[in-house]
């Protein structure tokens, strides 16, 4: 079956572009892109790819829409809160381009499905929000021989790059061989993310995907671009292929996807945890509550009589804490505080415990007057 001719009016501004033209537009229609993560990056990237006339988009995300997403995830409206991202995204993209084929992958990318799923696409866009999935995408895409257009954000900064060992370029592990330890780099929820910068970085991903598919210009292969939105300082640095890379080097040790390599997202502290539920914590006599969240969170809401010691300062300022009292360490959800307790116990604070579920669970169970965020 031959597909109907391209609508020349619809794509007129591409057809007249040197480097794209009719041939490039036909290539876009014949191509498929898997978008992993339909958040701050996946929203703008998928919008531009749909508008550009890409043939097929895979949408992989297990998440539902939260009110805090609306600040940057421009595919969703206030009425979408609580609904699955893939469904709302598919609907929003379909009304923009009815010729677009959309695949929904509600379980998201997992170690079990990664290689087979990625193999079914020409390109992968990494728009995830955690290291475990970033390394999973990198490893599975390299094994499947599919290029990755990667973007990541931290506050007012982004990094964008194309990783494609199959095209002679580097992979993410050539740049950063090992995943940082849990808690070493704060996540978006803790650190914040500049919404409009998601638009820049996600659009750049769409742009690199379109360039890659049509062959227009120079892809960002072998380079990484950093953008600091506050100063408008842009850096393009060279990322070489590492001959010693565990994934794409001469003597690779990563030759298949093994789930344990990508685990930290689910449970950064396997085994029994030094933590205490809110009700028991409140009943603890003589306990000192230690808040390890960032200053903006402390300003928003805090527990009465708590002391403030942001996680990044715990190691340096721990001796300000009493050693003769139980310490109930808390954060927003109970992950950062576990990390702090781990460090404090190693430093001899044997009575330090983490507040299970953080201040958020405290607000739900014990004090409905506390604002939640």
Would you count residue 134 as binding another protein (CB under 8 A)?
A: yes
Would you count residue 46 as binding another protein (CB under 8 A)?
A: no
Contact region with another protein (CB under 8 A), list: 114-122, 228-236, 269-277, 279-287: 228-236
Would you count residue 171 as binding another protein (CB under 8 A)?
A: no
**Rounded-to-integer distance, Cα 206 and Cα 183, Å:** 30
- Closest among 305, 275, 302 to 287, alpha carbons compared: 305
Q: What are phi and psi for residue 13, nearest 5 degrees? A: -75, -20
Smallest separation, CB 218 to another protein (Å): 14
Q: How far is CA 160 from CA 64, 118, 127, 197, 234, in A?
A: 26, 20, 11, 12, 11
Smallest separation, CB 47 to another protein (Å): 15
- Binding another protein (rule: CB under 8 A), the pick from 186, 217, 268, 274 is 186
Q: Which residues does 7 contact at the CB level (< 8 Å), separation at least 6?
A: none
Q: Where are the strands (E) in 229-365, listed by range?
A: 233-238, 275-276, 288-291, 307-308, 327-330, 352-355
Would you count residue 156 as binding another protein (CB under 8 A)?
A: yes
Active site residues: 188, 331
- Binding another protein (rule: CB under 8 A), the pick from 83, 91, 96, 236 is 236
Would you count residue 128 as binding another protein (CB under 8 A)?
A: yes
**What x-and-dash track marks residues 305-344 binding another protein by CB under 8 A?**
-------xx-xx----------------------------
Q: Which residue has the tokens 């531009």?
A: 48
- Binding another protein (rule: CB under 8 A), the pick from 188, 206, 248, 327 is 188
Q: How far is CA 233 from CA 69, 150, 171, 175, 225, in A?
A: 27, 20, 25, 21, 11
Would you count residue 238 as binding another protein (CB under 8 A)?
A: yes
Would you count residue 42 as binding another protein (CB under 8 A)?
A: yes
Secondary structure (DSSP) of 93-117:
HHTT-TT-EEEEETT-S-TTTHHHH
Positions in the binding site for another protein (CB under 8 A): 37, 39-42, 126-131, 134, 151-159, 175-178, 180, 184-188, 191, 193, 198, 224, 226, 228, 230-231, 233, 235-240, 242, 312-313, 315-316
């Amino acid at each position: 079956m031959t597909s109907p001719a391209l609508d020349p009016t619809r794509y007129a501004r591409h057809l007249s572009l040197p480097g794209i033209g009719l041939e490039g537009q036909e290539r876009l229609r014949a191509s498929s892109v898997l978008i992993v993560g339909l958040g701050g990056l996946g929203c703008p990237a998928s919008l531009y790819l749909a508008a550009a006339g890409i043939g097929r988009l895979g949408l992989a995300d297990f998440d539902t829409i939260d009110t805090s997403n609306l600040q940057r995830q421009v595919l969703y409206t206030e009425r979408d809160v609580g609904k699955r991202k893939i469904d709302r995204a598919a609907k929003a993209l379909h009304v923009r381009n009815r010729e677009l084929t959309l695949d929904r992958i509600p379980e998201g990318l997992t170690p079990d499905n990664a290689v087979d799923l990625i193999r079914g696409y020409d390109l992968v866009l990494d728009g995830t929000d955690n290291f475990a999935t970033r390394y999973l995408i990198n490893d599975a895409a390299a094994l499947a021989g599919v290029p990755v257009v990667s973007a990541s954000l931290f506050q007012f900064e982004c990094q964008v790059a194309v990783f494609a060992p199959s095209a002679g370029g580097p992979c993410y592990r050539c740049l950063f061989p090992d995943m940082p330890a849990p808690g070493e780099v704060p996540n978006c929820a803790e650190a914040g993310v500049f919404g409009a910068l998601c638009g820049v970085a996600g659009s750049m991903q769409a742009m690199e995907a379109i360039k890659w598919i049509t062959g227009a210009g120079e892809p960002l292969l072998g380079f990484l671009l950093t953008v600091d939105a506050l100063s408008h300082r842009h850096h393009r640095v060279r990322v070489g292929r590492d001959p010693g890379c565990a994934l794409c080097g001469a003597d690779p040790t990563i030759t298949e996807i093994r789930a344990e390599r990508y685990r930290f997202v689910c449970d950064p502290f396997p085994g029994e945890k030094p933590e205490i539920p809110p009700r028991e914590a409140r009943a603890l006599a003589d306990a000192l509550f230690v808040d390890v969240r960032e200053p903006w969170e402390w300003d928003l809401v805090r527990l009465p009589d708590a002391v403030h010691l942001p996680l990044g300062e715990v190691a340096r300022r721990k001796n300000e804490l009493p050693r003769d009292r139980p310490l109930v360490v808390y954060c927003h959800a109970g992950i950062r505080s576990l990390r702090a307790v781990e460090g404090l116990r190693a430093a001899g604070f044997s009575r330090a415990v983490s507040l299970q579920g953080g201040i958020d669970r405290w607000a739900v169970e014990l004090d409905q007057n506390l604002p939640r965020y």
